[in-house]
Amino acid sequence: MGKGSRIIWGSSREPSRAPRSGAFGGRFGAPHDECLGTPLADYRQRFETAAELATDGLLIVGSDDRVVFASQSAAHLFGYERRDVVGRSLADLFAPASLDDLEMLQGDARRARGERQTAELKVIPAWGQEIEVDVGLIAPEEGDEAYFSFRDVSLAKIMERELVKSNQFLRKIIINSVDGIIATDVSGNILLFNQGASRMLGWTESDVISRLPVTRLFEPGMAIALAERLRKDDDRDGPPGVLHPTEVTLVAKSGERLPVSLSLSSIFEWGQEVAIVGIFTDLRERVAMERRLKATRDYLNSVVENAFDMIITTDTEARIVSFNRGAERILGYSRDEVIGHGVEMFYLNPEERRSLIRRIEHFDGAVSNYETKLRRKDGRLVDISATISLLTDNDGHTIGTVGISQDITLRKKAQAELQATKDYLNAIVENTTDVIITTDLGRRIVSFNRGAER
């Protein structure tokens, strides 16, 4: 109560108000109405002072249910000046829907005089919008007055409702999560088991809550080992109370071993660990995919490895990365002898290979049926027909080259021999004195030798 403010009591007869000095007016507890010097006056003076210091709103109501005293906090709660609260009936201050509950509260207070009765009711402040208040009521042992306290709980109620909605929303997310979520107390008793966990492991929530220890879901000793890791400060796992995703095996109701990625976190209250929450993802599909991928990779590696053609891959520095059996057969080197060495070692002129790569880079990223000679380990030359292309990663960046080459030495030799035979026969035909003329099926002349010319 500020200096110079007045305490309004209100009664069937308006009391006299003598001037006061100081913050509360005169000596603390001094009488100020016609009951000068009486215990009642002293009591009321003290009550007024306490009422102004209280954060709760305080009202004194007479036998006619009209306010005879209002604290500043009460006036603020109702949105009025204090003088506008005094004289109002309770029916003016409480929401119509709360009047029946108010009557019940008053009846309880009259039946148990001197004992505080409480209820949550709604009042209507000056601005007209209902607010929820926590009402305390005491009917004294003597007299017809009643003492009310009011605490605005509307904001707390709104926050409580929002918190309940938020908790319900989060619970729906947790329960319906595709991932498995399990919460336990520090003794390992399961407290929460969501639908994701039920779908993966085969147990229902009622099967496990407070019935099945969490150790039953792990292979022997694993749950204890994970709990110990959870409580340690380890760069691999995170700070104490956090276990980063780690791959473990869970045991389903059917006995199936289920590979999962599991993360753990501790829940603390007042510095004490009270629960552990585990979130896990089913890795069966990923493991199956990895197996299929490995099988495909092994199959392709087998095809490459056993191909009759020479297949060589290099990195961006032209160093040999892979060298299949076909390459070993054609060039005479073992794989261990060439891995990591420059592929230019096989060319008669290293610049030929560099020029070829520049050509590949500036055109379509590949060249086909490129014929050249390579030097074998024993020094002999081998004719090859090569298809060479750039290797790129998923982002399109060049990471090397792959070359697939055929040994065409025998074919080149056969072509040379055939050409020599043709040249020999042509020389005979041209130089004979006989007339030799050849025609096609349409009797058109195809060849006409020198003998025919003569």
Q: Where does 115-245 have alpha helices with state H?
A: 154-176, 195-201, 205-208, 222-230
Spatial neighbors of 236 by CB under 8 A, at least 6 apart, are 244
Res 26: pLDDT:
32
Residue closest to 151 by CA, chosen among 175, 129, 176, 123:
123
Residue closest to 310 by CA, chosen among 332, 336, 341, 295:
332
**Minimum mean pLDDT among 74-88, 223-237, 289-303: which range?**
223-237
Whole-angstrom Cα distance, residue 222 to residue 348?
A: 62
Beta bridge partners of 342: 319
- Contact present, 69 and 8 (Cβ < 8 Å): yes
* pLDDT exceeds cutoff 70 at 22: no
Greatest CA span in the chain, whole angstroms?
A: 167
Of all residues in the chain, the percent with pLDDT exceeding 70 is 90
Res 43: pLDDT:
65
Res 29: pLDDT:
35
Residue closest to 223 by CA, chosen among 232, 234, 213:
213
- Contact present, 372 and 346 (Cβ < 8 Å): no
* pLDDT exceeds cutoff 70 at 16: no
Res 228: pLDDT:
87
- Contact present, 25 and 96 (Cβ < 8 Å): no
pLDDT digits (tens, 9 = 90+) for 37-94: 445 566 667 777 777 888 899 999 998 999 999 999 999 999 999 899 999 999 999 9
* pLDDT exceeds cutoff 60 at 259: yes
Q: Whole-number mean pLDDT of the chain?
A: 84
* pLDDT exceeds cutoff 90 at 133: yes
Phi/psi at 364 (nearest 5 deg)? Answer: -95, 10
Length of the chain: 454
- Contact present, 422 and 402 (Cβ < 8 Å): no
Distance of CA 434 to the CA centre of its chain: 95
Res 41: pLDDT:
65
Of all residues in the chain, the percent with pLDDT exceeding 90 is 49
Res 12: pLDDT:
34
Q: Which two tokens mark 90?
A: 């309770």
Burial class (CB in 10 A: 0-12, 13-18, 19+), 355: exposed
Whole-angstrom Cα distance, residue 278 to residue 201?
A: 14
Helix (H) or strand (E) holding 85, with range, is helix 82-85
Predicted structure pTM score: 0.47
Residue closest to 7 by CA, chosen among 53, 40, 39, 38:
53
pLDDT digits (tens, 9 = 90+) for 319-373: 999 999 999 999 999 999 999 999 999 999 999 999 999 988 887 788 889 999 9
Whole-angstrom Cα distance, residue 87 to residue 80?
A: 12
